[in-house]
Amino acid sequence: MVHQLLAEFMGTALMIIFGVGVHSDEVLKGSKYRGSGHLFAITTWGFGITVALFIFGDVSINPAMVLAQCVLGNISWAMFIPYSVAEVLGGIVGAVIVYIMYADEFKASEGNVDPVAVRNIFSTAPGIRNLPRNFFVEFFATFVFISSIIAITQIKTPGIAPIAIGLLVWAIGMGMGGPTGFAMNLARDMGPRIAHAILPIKNKANSDWQYGIIVPGIAPFVGGLCAALFMRSFFGI
């Protein structure tokens, strides 16, 4: 059990290092890749998740996936909270590591980059704030994401799942990510959001806990639950 918890923790941390790292590249003053755009970021998220899955193997790195696997009987319900906590902690630590790596760029950005843009390096935010619609976008994107992963993992060819899941992240990011930034994962959003709140970033924007809890906090669980029920009832998985 401890080994699996550590794998969830480290896998999530590595995913966040790639993801928050690429947003730091894109936003912060002094980065060589500043202004590189969302295609650059979405591609890095996809590749980063592939790498994390290749290294750590059979991990969820997403509390919504843990919930889905509990519903399907692949993970004990007793492990739902421990796995989820390990993943959120991994999200916090991954974001802190990125802050340390980019400390000079964060300092150079003080007063030169919008504090909201700095916050959005860590956590997701809607393009247009409309909580019911934002909730639906995150719910539906997560439903597609988790359903697809469950289908992908039925293919037993070694090495297929990490690559296919990375491509899936890329496709969802490009096709559904515009309204909310496609968190689809409490640990991906809440972990770095907590890190942003506690790190010594000057003139920081508020953490927008209302959005963080309602949209990337709750909607992915609803999407993951519906995905598991759909895949079990329709495909007999």
Round to whole Å and give the CA distance between 230 and 42. 27
Cβ–Cβ under 8 Å, residues 193 and 207: yes
Closest CA to 62 of 18, 12, 96: 12
Stated pTM of the model: 0.96
pLDDT for residue 173 is more than 90:
yes
Residue that is written with structure tokens 């860590």 in the block: 122
Q: Is 2-235 a CATH 1.20.1080.10 domain? A: yes
CA distances from residue 219 to 119, 167, 215, 222, 233 in whole angstroms, order as listed: 21, 22, 5, 5, 21
Task: Supply the pLDDT for residue 114.
Answer: 97
Cβ–Cβ under 8 Å, residues 221 and 64: yes
Task: Supply the pLDDT for residue 146.
Answer: 98
Residue that is written with structure tokens 């970033």 in the block: 201
pLDDT (tens digit per residue) in 147-171: 999 999 999 899 999 999 999 999 9
pLDDT (tens digit per residue) in 23-57: 999 999 999 999 999 999 999 999 999 999 999 99
**Residue 236 in tokens:** 């007999």
Question: For the chain, what is the mean pLDDT?
Answer: 97
Task: Supply the pLDDT for residue 156.
Answer: 87
Within its chain, how far is the Cα of 62 from the centroid?
7
Neighbours of 160 (CB within 10 A): 12
Residue that is written with structure tokens 């963080």 in the block: 212
Coil, strand or helix at 56 = helix
pLDDT (tens digit per residue) in 174-228: 999 999 999 999 999 999 999 999 999 999 999 999 999 999 999 999 999 999 9
Residue that is written with structure tokens 């506690």 in the block: 198
**Where exactly are the structural domains of the chain?**
2-235
Round to whole Å and give the CA distance between 82 and 63. 10
Residue that is written with structure tokens 């359903």 in the block: 147
- CA dihedral sign, ordered 49, 50, 56, 62: positive
Q: Report residue 1's pLDDT band, with 50, 70 and 90 as the boundaries.
A: confident
Closest CA to 146 of 179, 174, 178, 172: 172
Instruction: Tell me the average pLDDT across 130-147.
Output: 98
Report percent pLDDT > 90 for the chain: 98
Query: In one letter, which amino acid is 155?
Result: I
Round to whole Å and give the CA distance between 236 and 232. 5
Closest CA to 116 of 204, 37, 194: 204
What's the number of CA atoms in the CB half-sphere (13 Å) around residue 45?
Answer: 26
Strands (E) across 14-122 are located at none
Closest CA to 221 of 146, 120, 122: 146
